Structure 1
Amino acid sequence: MDALYYLIAALGGYLLGSIPFGLVITKLAGLGDIRAIGSGNIGATNVLRTGRKDLALATLLLDAGKAGIAAAIFGYFLGTTAGLIAGAAAFTGHCFPVWLKFKGGKGVATFVGTVLVVSWPVGLTVIASWLITAAIFRISSLGALVAALAAPVAALVIGRPDVAIMTGVLAALIYWLHRANIARILKGEEPRIGGGNKTGTDGAAATEKDGAETED
């Protein structure tokens, strides 16, 4: 019976997480297909490139909320493990939505939403890690990478190995999805928050198309 519950949680979480709110919101606002501008991503960062901060904020909250809701609902009705599975599945659905040929966002907001629900102390650690790193280095993607790594460490510290395993797997996926960002960080070419252009010699247009910024 547990296996059936976990399967239901995984499927339900994936379907909820795969809702492309960034694409839906921008189309409803009459802005066309968000995938046709900037990095082509469906996350809040790319929605912000439309000039609509309100839509970007709505996308951010909805992308985080859908994962949190999945973890909360299935965790409440089917148990803690099912909640963890549902949250992880929602993250996966956001990054690889079946409706968009498995081309979605990079999962940062969805990751935060999941972790806040399954363990709010770990979630707050993730947020604090991003804010501190971004404030010091002014590189959004670096903040996301540090925050992702902080999650399993914080979970182990507070005695939640189950959360550590889940966040460790998701953190590994975040690093893989940010592999281009990591390469630019190492080269000193990743754009800084508010900088507009790269810190290197290439043009900003190429940076955006490659998805240099952290995309949710």
Structure 2
Amino acid sequence: MDKVEIKNLPVHVAIIMDGNGRWARQRNLPRVEGHLVGMESVRDIVTTTRKLHIPYLTLYAFSKENWKRPKEEVKRLLELLEIYLERELPLMMEKGIRLNILGDIKDFPKKVQKRLQETMDKTKKNRELWLNIALSYSARKEILRATAAIAEDYKRGVIKRINERAFKKYLWTKGIPDPDLLIRTSGEMRISNFLLWQLAYTELYITDTLWPDFREEAYIEALKEYSRRDRRFGSIKEA
């Protein structure tokens, strides 16, 4: 990557990685081929994020609803997840990348759960980039889960009041700043049950580029567009 100077980089970028299946279909290839090439996009975007010193990156990889896909496709996706974790661990350690999982890890087979936990444990002291991967994730479930937990703690006297600051501590994103920028590939105009609480004031960037084709150059363009935004968080700009 040539030296890139972008003023006002986001602290936290979230990405809905969409379009693997369409990419494969356009080339008369099996869907799994789209996922394979999509893995290369993941590596490229993670590496670029690290080079730009953006401290938080969240990737929407597998939703709660994705379990409804054909069993063979789900099986291959789980295999690719294990391959990704094994292949990328050396890079995570070398580049100071910490892996964190958002979602219901217990939905996965024991072998996959073990691999996920081992990778999180091995990288937990890394500080250069906090990489969140949303797996078996549902924002509605996250909010319901947090609501039940905070209500129980309030009832037991563990907390004295319920407010936004307290509620955020019960989300899977506890301790992580809300995304500044959400990128969605493939041109779809929806957020697909992703980070519904956290995206309240996030800037949105939608691109027609399919995820397997979304690489450094396209990412830089999204970041440049973000840098030109005027974020007011509901207030007005002073004259």
Q: What is the TM-score with the length of structure 1 in the denominator?
A: 0.33
Higher relative CO (Cα under 8 Å, sequence separation at least 6) belongs to: 2
| Pair member with larger Rg | 2
Q: What is the TM-score with the length of structure 2 in the denominator?
A: 0.30
Structure (1 or 2) with the greater strand fraction: 2
